[in-house]
Structure 1
Amino acid sequence: MAGSSTPRPSSAMLGRVLLAAVSVLVLTAGPAVASPAAVTPAAEECDPEPGTVKLPGGEPWAQQRLDIKTAWRLSAGAGVRVAVVDSGLDTRHPQLRQFATFVDLTGTGHIDCVGHGTAVTGIIAGRLYPGVAFHGVAPQATVIELKQSNQAQGHVANLAAAIDKAVQLRADVINISIKAADNPALKAAVQNALAHDIVIVAAAGNITEKNENVPAYPGSYEGVLAAGSATPDGRRADSSNTATPVSVLGPGVGIVAPWPPSAYKLDLEGSSFAAAYVSGTAALVRARFPHLDQEQVRRRIIATSDGSIGEGTGAGMVNPVLAVSAVLPFEPDGRPVVAPPPAAAISADAIAKVPPEDFVTRNLSLAVMAGALILTALAGALALVLPLGRSRGWRPGEPA
C-alpha cells in the first residue's frame, strides 16, 4: 500500500530559514556582527555608496593635527604586520594596490562592497601618491586584510575566526573597527591574540538614534586599546561611546579616506576611523621599539597622548610624534609608565636675595681699621723712643 509522504525542504529553503533565524547585531563602529553561528552570506549586489575622485585642497585636518610626517623621521611602520578585520579592500585603489595578503571568511571574494574596510585600511597604511594630500599613518607597514563580512552586518564567529587567523599569520597589530556584544568565542580569540604578543586596537563604538550607549566588544575587554572619536578641536565627538572604557581618542569627525572604486570618501565620522589612526600609531611604535611587548606598546601610546578632557576621552588624543620619540621613566620590570607631573615652581621667597651693599657700615669699618693701624704704629714708635729718653735722662740729644 502506498503511503503519503511529506515533501522534504530543499537546501536553498533551509539556508534562507537559517539566515532569517540568525539574530543580527547592528554595528555602530563599522560592520556589525551577529551571534552565535557564522553564516556565509550569499552572493549579492555589490554597490558601495559613491565617493569622489577629487579631494579638497590641503592636507586633511587629522594628518595635520597628528603631525604624522614628523613621526616618520623616526618610524614609518616598516616591518610591522597590521591585520585589518573588516569588510574587504579595494585593491585597485592607487594607494592600496600593494596589499597582497588577503583572507576571505565570507566566500564572496576580497572586493569591498561596503567601503568601510577600504577606508580603515587606507588610514592605517595608505601609501604616498603623487599629487594626493591624503596618506596613511604607517605607509611602510604590511597589511593583512581579513574580510569578516560582505555587508554592513557580520557574524561574531567570523570575527573570532579572523582574529585567530591573524595570530596564525603572525600579525603585530590587529585593528577591529567593529562593535559587538560580549561573546565567549570572541573573548577567547582576543585573549589568545594578546598572549601571542599582538596589540589589539578596537573601536569604542558610536551612539546613534538606533544604538544605545552600551559597552562595545572587543573594545571593552581587558588589554585592548579602545579608541574613542575626537573632533578637530580635540574634544570627544558627541557620537563617541562613553560606556566603553576608552583608552585614547583618535580623529573621528570630518575624516577623508580611500573608498571603492579607486575614489575617496569625505566627511566620514565614527570611532572606526579613530581606531585606524590609533592602529597606525601602534605600527609606528612597534617599528621604532621592537623590543617592547604588546602591553608596553599600549602603555606607551596611552602615556604619550595629549591628556584626558572628560568622560569617554581616556588619555586624550593619540600623539604619534611623542609615541615614537618620548623618553619615559620605566618600572623595575622594564614597563614604561606615565611620567609624574612636574614639581611645583619654587616660590619667589624660597631663596634669600643678596642684600644691597651697606656703604655706611663699610666706610665706618674702614675708618676703625685705619685708626687701629695708626694707633698700632704710634704704640710701636713709643716703644722705641721711650727707652732712649730714659737712658739720657730725658735730655735733648747733642747736635751733629
Structure 2
Amino acid sequence: MSGPARRIPIALAGIALTVSLGQATAIAVPPPSIDPGRVPPNSAPSGPKTELRDPCSTTQPVGDLAQVPPPQRALDLESVWPLSTGRGQTVAVIDTGVERHSRLPGLIPGGDYVSTGDGTQDCDAHGTLVAGIIAAKRDGETGFAGVAPDARILSIRQSSNIYRETDGRKDAEGQNAQGVGNVSTLARAIRHAADFPGVTVINISEVACVPVSGGDSAMLGAAVDYAARIKDIVVVAAAGNLDSEACKASNPPTNPATPHANPWDSVTTIATPAWYDDQVLAVGSVDPDGAPSAFTVPGPWVDVAAPGTEITSLDPRRPEPTGLTDSVNGGSVQGTSFAAPYAAGTAALIRARFPQLTAREVMDRIERTAHAPADGWDPLVGHGVIDPAAAVTAELPGAVPTQDAQSAAMAIPDGPEPPDDRPRNVAVAGAGGVVALLGLGLLASYPLRRRLQRDGGETSTG
C-alpha cells in the first residue's frame, strides 16, 4: 500500500523481525529443509509486557453498502454458495487479533501473544479485515460477505505494529522499537492453532522478509510442517509486499531468454513462511483486471494469486451488521495480506464439500483450477488466479474422486407370479361337460331313432 507506514501495515503486518537487508544478491538457494524436531511445544499464549505506542487505527465506513465489492464479483461467490458455504470448518487467523462483530457470530478466542487479551482485540484493524474476508456472514442490507460465510474463525493475536514492549529498547532513531511479534511467536502461534480442536485451515497474513544469507527460523519451518503434515491442516500465507520495510528487495521475474531456468537460482529475498512451498499455499495479489499487483513479492514458492486491491471487509470499530470499511487511517486497504484470506476461504469451501480430501489435495485442487498464466506458472501469480467455483465443482483428471462411490447390494427381483388359470379351467371344464352331455344324449337317441324307423316301416306299406 502506498502512503504512510501507519496505513495498514499489510506486508510485515506486525512481525518485528529486525534484519539489515544490505545489497540484494542473487544466490542459488534450495527449497527450505524441515527439522521436525524443532517444532515448539504447545503452550498457552502469553505476551511480553507491552503498552500502546500510538492510538489504535481509525476506519471510515463504506459509502455504498449495497455494492458487491469488486473482488467478490470477480470470484463469483454467489455461484459457489449453493454448493458450499464452509459450514463445519474452523479457520485460524493468526494476525493482529479479531474484534467481535455481529457478522462473525462464531468467533473463538484463541489467545494473545501481544498483551493480556484473549485474541478478540484488534487495535491495528488488520486481523478483523482478514477474518471478514474469510467468513463474514451474509446480510441482506449489504453486498459484502465472506468467502465461506458459515465457517468459524479462531483468532490468535500474534503481532501488532501499535504496541511496543516496555523493556526500554530503542530503535535507530532513539524511539522505542516499533511492533510486537516475531518469527518465534509466529511459530508458537501456528503450533497452538494446529492443536486447537476442529481447525482445518490456518491463514497467516504476515510475512517476514530476510536475505538469503540471513537464513530462516528452523522453529517456524517445523511448526508449519507440523500443521500441514501431522495435523492435515491447509496453511495459507501471504506472499509479501514490496512496499513494506522488510520486503523492499524483490526477487527477479521470469527471464524470457531462459524460460527453463530454475527460479530458486535467482532468489535474493526469502519471504517466510510463504517460502515453505511443500507445506504452505503462498498467495500473491492481482488487480481487478487480473494483472499482478505492483506490490506483490515474486518467488518460486508463489502458488496462486487472488484479488488484493479495492478491498472491503468488516469494520473493527463498528460491530453492527452494516459495519464495513474500505479505508484505514485514511488509506485504502490493499496487499497480499488480503489476497491470502480469499484463498483460505476457498480452502474452507472445499473442505466442507469434500471432507475426504487431505490438506495437500485441497491445495492441489486450488492450484489446478486456477486461471493459469500463459506460461503455466509465474513467480508473481503462481499457477494463476483462484477460481472458487471451479475448485468446488471440477472433476480433475487423476485427482482423488471428489465423491465417495455409492454402492449397495441389490436383491434379485422375484420372478413374475404365475397366471391365474382358474377362469379358463372353469370355462374349459364347463365346455367339456356340455360336450359330454351332448354326446351322451346323442348316443342315447340312437336306439330310439332305430325303433321309430322300424315301427314306421311296418305300418306304412304302399
Instruction: Compute the displacement of 1:50 (Å).
Output: 2.3
Q: For residue 270 of structure 2, what is the aligned residue in structure 1?
A: 215
Structure 2 residue aligned with 1:162, among 186, 189, 197? Answer: 189
Q: For residue 14 of structure 2, what is the aligned residue in structure 1?
A: 31
The CA deviation string for residues 8-54 of structure 1, in whole angstroms up to 9 with x for no partner, is xxxxxxxxxxxxxxxxxx87252324379996251325511322153
SS of aligned partner of 1:122: helix
Q: For residue 207 of structure 2, what is the aligned residue in structure 1?
A: 179
Structure 2 residue aligned with 1:284, among 340, 349, 353? Answer: 349
The CA deviation string for residues 103-124 of structure 1, in whole angstroms up to 9 with x for no partner, is 2222332310000000000000
The CA deviation string for residues 274-323 of structure 1, in whole angstroms up to 9 with x for no partner, is 00100000000011110000100000000001112544111111000000
Superposition pairs of residues 249-264 of structure 1, within 5 angstroms: 249-262=305-318, 263-264=323-324
Q: For residue 3 of structure 2, what is the aligned residue in structure 1?
A: none
Instruction: Compute the displacement of 1:97 (Å).
Output: 4.0
Aligned counterparts of 1:132 and 1:243: Cα–Cα separation in 2: 37
SS of aligned partner of 2:59: coil
Runs of 4 or more, structure 1, over 6 Å off, are: 35-38
Instruction: Return the letter of the residue paired with 1:42.
Output: T
Q: For residue 274 of structure 1, what is the aligned residue in structure 2?
A: 339
The CA deviation string for residues 60-97 of structure 1, in whole angstroms up to 9 with x for no partner, is 01111101121111110011111000001110x33124
Aligned counterparts of 1:166 and 1:122: Cα–Cα separation in 2: 19
TM-score (norm 2): 0.63
Instruction: Compute the displacement of 1:264 (Å).
Output: 2.9
Aligned counterparts of 1:186 and 1:33: Cα–Cα separation in 2: 15
Structure 1 residue aligned with 2:368, among 303, 327, 339? Answer: 303
Instruction: Return the letter of the residue paired with 2:232.
Output: D
Change (3 A) 1:298 1:131: same
Instruction: Return the letter of the residue paired with 1:128.
Output: R
Instruction: Return the letter of the residue paired with 2:89.
Output: V
Aligned counterparts of 1:35 and 1:291: Cα–Cα separation in 2: 42
Aligned counterparts of 1:279 and 1:51: Cα–Cα separation in 2: 26
Q: For residue 99 of structure 1, what is the aligned residue in structure 2?
A: 107
Q: Is the 8 A contact 1:76 1:141 kept in 2?
A: yes
Instruction: Return the letter of the residue paired with 1:273.
Output: F
Unmatched runs of 5 consecutive residues or more in structure 1: 1-25, 337-400
Aligned counterparts of 2:12 and 2:139: Cα–Cα separation in 1: 28
The CA deviation string for residues 191-226 of structure 1, in whole angstroms up to 9 with x for no partner, is 111121010000000111742222311111032100
Q: Is the 8 A contact 1:216 1:244 kept in 2?
A: no
Aligned counterparts of 2:89 and 2:125: Cα–Cα separation in 1: 24
Change (3 A) 1:76 1:335: same
Q: Is the 8 A contact 1:122 1:257 kept in 2?
A: yes
Aligned counterparts of 1:276 and 1:141: Cα–Cα separation in 2: 13
Aligned counterparts of 2:49 and 2:300: Cα–Cα separation in 1: 29
Larger RCO of the pair (alpha carbons < 8 Å, separation 6+) = 2
Change (3 A) 1:79 1:97: closer
Change (3 A) 1:41 1:121: farther
Change (3 A) 1:230 1:41: farther
Q: For residue 127 of structure 2, what is the aligned residue in structure 1?
A: 117
Superposition pairs of residues 314-393 of structure 1, within 5 angstroms: 314-330=382-398, 334=400
Q: Is the 8 A contact 2:13 2:161 kept in 1?
A: no
Change (3 A) 1:78 1:108: same
Matched, 1:85 2:94: yes
Aligned counterparts of 2:62 and 2:10: Cα–Cα separation in 1: 28
For this pair of structures, how many residues does the alignment match? 308
Change (3 A) 1:130 1:149: same
TM-score (norm 1): 0.72
Superposition pairs of residues 118-133 of structure 1, within 5 angstroms: 118-133=128-143
Matched, 1:43 2:62: no
Aligned counterparts of 1:87 and 1:43: Cα–Cα separation in 2: 15
Aligned counterparts of 2:296 and 2:194: Cα–Cα separation in 1: 29
Q: Is the 8 A contact 1:219 1:244 kept in 2?
A: no
Aligned counterparts of 2:217 and 2:66: Cα–Cα separation in 1: 44
Q: Is the 8 A contact 1:176 1:201 kept in 2?
A: yes
Instruction: Compute the displacement of 1:155 (Å).
Output: 1.7
Aligned counterparts of 2:106 and 2:337: Cα–Cα separation in 1: 23
Q: Is the 8 A contact 1:43 1:108 kept in 2?
A: no
Instruction: Return the letter of the residue paired with 1:312.
Output: L
Q: For residue 245 of structure 1, what is the aligned residue in structure 2?
A: 301
